[in-house]
Homo-oligomer: A and B are copies of this chain.
Amino acid sequence: MAENPIIVEILEKLNHFIKRKGLRRTPQRDEIVALIFSKDEHFTADELYDRVRKNNSSASRATLYRTLGLLEEAGLLHEIDLGGDQKTYDPNFVDSPSHNHLICIDCGKVVEFEDDNIEILNDCITRRMGFRPAKQSIRIEACCETLRSKGVCQDLIQARLASKKIHKK
């Protein structure tokens, strides 16, 4: 896991940030970072804590929340709005700094996408309103066309199966 090039890259960036702020590198933080960036999946603090426990990491919930805050501050992790009650984090902004999210109403699947045209258009609109663009996020809710036309959507089936697995705590 530690030899994963993405994780190595993130750890380097984080440690650079940490040094600049006079903070310290710790194994707990490194473990959490490795877990976050070993997948490209979105996650909640709770889901991440599950992975922490399954990987026999010693990190506590408190450290996990503190590390999430640090990563956000360093710009390595973004909070995204998937509309749930828990905050959702997206680890993919290091690779794709300006991607957006489409959320399937039918199955809940989240599709990431980038589009230069939208990017440029938003930029123009922002300037016309007298502002200097800093960050933009587009969130699209949509229905699965496959489901509608063929009556079946593999993602929906998986989502239903997954929902049976959900048992909090």
Contact = CB atoms under 8 A, between A and B. Distances in A.
Interface of A: 79, 81, 83, 102, 104-105, 111, 113, 115, 117-118, 121-122, 125-127, 129-146, 148
A118 B126 CA distance: 12
Given A113-B125, A118-B125, A121-B117, A136 B132 contact: no
A122 B133 contact: no
Quick one: copies of this chain in the complex? 2
A118 B81 CA distance: 20
A113 B129 contact: yes
A143 B131 contact: yes
Contacts of A138: 122, 136-139
A141 B135 contact: yes
A140 B127 CA distance: 11
Given A130-B144, A130-B146, 13 more contacts: A81-B139, A104-B131, A105-B134, A113-B125, A113-B129, A118-B125, A121-B121, A122-B140, A132-B145, A134-B141, A134-B142, A137-B138, A139-B139
